[in-house]
Amino acid sequence: KQEVTQIPAALSVPEGENLVLNCSFTDSAIYNLQWFRQDPGKGLTSLLLIQSSQREQTSGRLNASLDKSSGRSTLYIAASQPGDSATYLCAVCDDKIIFGKGTRLHILP
Amino acid sequence: KAGVTQTPRYLIKTRGQQVTLSCSPISGHRSVSWYQQTPGQGLQFLFEYFSETQRNKGNFPGRFSGRQFSNSRSEMNVSTLELGDSALYLCASSWGTGGDTQYFGPGTRLTVL
């Protein structure tokens, strides 16, 4: 049974710092992995999708990597801004989509 | 292009009642998935519909059911509501299945008293 874990559960960093969010999964037989952002009380916004054959994807200040063999993905955020404060969720797709519980990120102005 | 819409946005029901939630996908999308989000369990997959057929189902009791119409709009029904059904119910649409990028609606906040 696929399980997705995100560490840490919460993170506070000063504005301007680079940071890394971690995601691990137990079964490497996945189609793809997605990173989402969720603002309080809102739906999810897709940030990056990495296909199982890919190693990384980049969008602006965001870079996501995927290492299927070790069951890990990281989301790197460069030059963090207060507007980046949100919960970041990782989800793996292996026919169903299984979400981690998220990392609550707070950027300190 | 309009995004995924969900109605109603907020709902208050009492135990034992039933509720129907609606989701309209992005135009052209044929897959609709439903999720339940609670503080304790996080986001859990309920079911996925593609071309009016239920393609996948999560680990939820039979009180949770859904359907999809020919225009890809989907409804989710919960019968005999329990306090633990209080949650944010999210719907997501995608072009197809097999891990296409999912686009989420704003959710329906259900409170069961």
Task: Determine the residue among A44, A48, A49 to mutate to test chain B binding: the one whose Cβ has the most chain B Cβ atoms within 10 Å.
Answer: A44
Q: Assess contact for B87 and B39: CB atoms under 8 A.
A: no
Dump pLDDT digits (tens) for B52-98: 999 989 999 999 999 999 999 999 999 999 999 999 999 999 988 76
Predicted confidence at residue B1, as pLDDT, reads 65
How many angstroms separate the CA atoms of B100 and B52, rounded?
A: 18
Q: Assess contact for B101 and B4: CB atoms under 8 A.
A: no
Dump pLDDT digits (tens) for A51-85: 999 999 999 999 999 999 999 999 999 999 999 99
How many angstroms separate the CA atoms of B99 and A98, rounded?
A: 11
A106 inside 8 A of chain B by CB: no
Q: Assess contact for B28 and B45: CB atoms under 8 A.
A: no
Report the relative pairing of strands B53-57 and A62-67 from DSSP bridges.
unpaired
Chain A environment of B45 (Cβ under 8 Å):
96-99
SS3 call for A22: strand
Please name every residue paired with A50 in a beta bridge, in sequence order, or none if there are none. A33
For A58, half-sphere exposure in the C-beta direction (CA atoms, 13 angstrom radius) is: 3
B36 inside 8 A of chain A by CB: no
Interchain contact, A46 vs B90, CB within 8 Å: no
pLDDT at B113 over 80: yes
Interchain contact, B106 vs A95, CB within 8 Å: no
How many angstroms separate the CA atoms of A99 and A25, rounded?
A: 10
pLDDT at A95 over 80: no
How many angstroms separate the CA atoms of A72 and A78, rounded?
A: 20
